[in-house]
Amino acid sequence: MGYLYEIQTEVQHFAEVISEALSVETEIIDENMAVVGSTSYNALDYEARQSYPTEWSNSNAQISKHLFETKRPLVLADPGINPLCRDCTERNQCYYKAGLYYPILLKGTCYGVISLVAFNEQQRENIMKNSFSFMKFTRKMAEILASKVQELIVREELSSTNEYLKTIISSVHEGIIACNPEGIITCFNVTAEEKLGIESGAALGRQISEIVPESLLSAALKSQRSIYENSVEYHNAEGTAVHLVSNITLVKKEGRLLGAVESFNTDESLFRIAHRLLNTDTSASFQKIIGDSLVMREAKGRASAIAKSPSTVLITGESGTGKELFARAIHNSSLRSENPFIPVNCSAIPDPLLESELFGYDGGAFTGAKASGKPGIFEMAEKGTIFLDEIGDMPLNLQVKLLRVLQEKAVQHVGGTKNIDIDVRVIAATNQNLMAKIEKGEFRKDLFYRLNVIPLVIPSLRERSQDIPALAAFLCDKYAPILNRRITGISEEALRILCEYQWPGNVRELENAIEYAINYTFDGEVITAGSLPAWLSQQTNPSSPLSIEKMSEREKIKSLLIISGTSLEAKKQIAEILGVSLATLYRKIKKYDL
């Protein structure tokens, strides 16, 4: 079996964390094409479950086989249709809608593949829309799994020398405790010191049962059997329970027991990694926020001036104006830039879950709670910034608790009694009129004043229409590679339409329009008025809608080819629409170089 199969429980835990963090299904296979971690099974319908494999073969694993050969990541938007799926036995009944695949590489060797897969259109949109950040996050997860493979390989090569053991320990970031066959501690690394609150000097040379009574090392040495992926509860030097996932590996040479090594980590560590990597965007800066209009220069100037302050910021502006982009730029320009930036959409998380997501919970706090509990987002953002988007939608009962957190700089888990000190900067945002909500009794006045220490207003796109050409050019550069199109620019007529439109959805709506237009523009050409969404042209100039009848002949034929396709049947239909013969259509296609 492959290395990943040896740590299948841990790999499954990674799959669940990735799925929870990204809201897509996750599959992980090893170098033998065995499925070692998956959240996909429960997402399938009954019929699909019957054919869901526990091991892939050369006949139904063309994508994975491709990744093992090329060792390069892949985003697949057309499963079943893509040429890579040509020889797949499941091609005609493929239940995948899209996929993002990343190889697990170590020293040039591929040990497995992480797959983010979509079984419905919502998951497909999630993958395609967030492919950049998902790829970045999945790369880090692959690197972590590769380091786990490295650990296994190294453990296989362990020698009996303590110096070699120290070399191994210095290469991992988990808590490490090593004992000789009599249970005497020979190594106690820095992470173990931090997690258990015990200095290595006080532990070395003493019995493990004396220093860490709950440690599984004693049981492993007694039974002479390794232990993998055990959830355990140890107690630190202060007597506080610490929930860990522990692995015990026996060290043997030529059949002789030399000792045992325990490696452990806390459940919260993976969640911290997931949030930090998924939400880290070091490229966000004020210089990269597009817009040179007066109102944008003023907004960027005000935001830049308070970036290094620890004060709470309330960002207001219409939906789609870029409030989160400003929040990220403030964080990246602050003294907290090396620490996490975690965004939370207060309207997207159901009210019953929002409290536990923000403040965490203790084990057994409610039905379905993990026995080990879970840290809240405020804890995971320690020393960093938490961005509370759509703060106006936060329920009143949580507004009281948030106010207390801001005042006391401490959180309390759901079901817990202990105050946990936090050092987090809060940036909140809303597209609503909070004063109006206060008058209706829907938002607390005291919380508003606590959040509104530094108000920052982001202008709407219609207030800065002179920024539209630069924004459109940026969005073309962003989406053309994703859509596999080579766009050479935007025509003057198309740009006029974009600048005259009122953009109630602001930059987000502009982004959708540009992505639409790129899909309907041939390689090597400019975006024309005919490529833009029809509703945009009609609303820009209702008295003169840009319809097919008013297009130039070339643009008319081009649009019909894009919409209908280039097959013989499609061309027959286009010729009928235009009222010409098929031969005439072919001459016009040649004439216009289409």
Q: Residue 405's pLDDT is what?
A: 94
Q: Give residue 94's pLDDT band: very low, low, confident or very high (50, 70, 90).
A: confident
Q: Where in the chain is the domain with CATH 3.40.50.300?
A: 279-459
Return the sign of the alpha-carbon dihedral for residues 391, 396, 400, 401. Answer: negative
Q: How many H-runs (helices) and E-runs (strands) does the chain carry?
A: 26, 19
SS3 40: coil
Query: Worst-scoring range by mean pLDDT, 66-80, 131-145, 261-275, 364-378?
Result: 261-275
Q: Where in the chain is the domain with CATH 1.10.8.60?
A: 464-591
> Hey, which bits of 183-226 come out as E strands?
185-188
CATH for 279-459? Answer: 3.40.50.300
Q: Which of 96, 77, 130, 73 is nearest to 519 (CA)?
A: 77
| Residue 59 predicted with pLDDT over 70 | no
Q: Where in the chain is the domain with CATH 3.30.450.20?
A: 162-270
SS3 381: coil
- Residues 564-578 have pLDDT tens digits of 678 888 888 888 878
Helix (H) / strand (E) containing 328: helix 323-332
Q: Residue 380's pLDDT is what?
A: 85
Q: Residue 53's pLDDT is what?
A: 54
CB 191 within 8 A of CB 170: no
Place of tokens 């964080």: 331
- For the segment 387-395, the average pLDDT, to the nearest whole number, is 93
Q: List the 341-345 sheet strands across, edge first.
A: 341-345, 385-389, 425-430, 313-316, 454-457
- Give me the percent of the chain exceeding a pLDDT of 90: 40
Rounded Cα distance between 120 and 409, Å, is 41
- Residues 207-235 have pLDDT tens digits of 998 898 888 898 889 888 888 777 787 88
Q: Residue 154's pLDDT is what?
A: 76
- pTM (global) more than 0.95: no
Rounded Cα distance between 307 and 375, Å, is 27
**Fold classified for 162-270:** Beta-Lactamase (3.30.450)
Buried b (16+ CB within 10 A) or exposed e, 281-311: beebbbeebbbebebbeebbeebeebbeeee
CB 7 within 8 A of CB 263: no
- For the segment 365-375, the average pLDDT, to the nearest whole number, is 68
Q: Where in the chain is the domain with CATH 3.30.450.40?
A: 3-142
| Residue 544 predicted with pLDDT over 50 | no
**Fold classified for 3-142:** Beta-Lactamase (3.30.450)
Highest mean pLDDT among 295-309, 365-379, 534-548: 295-309
SS3 502: coil
CATH for 464-591? Answer: 1.10.8.60
SS3 204: coil
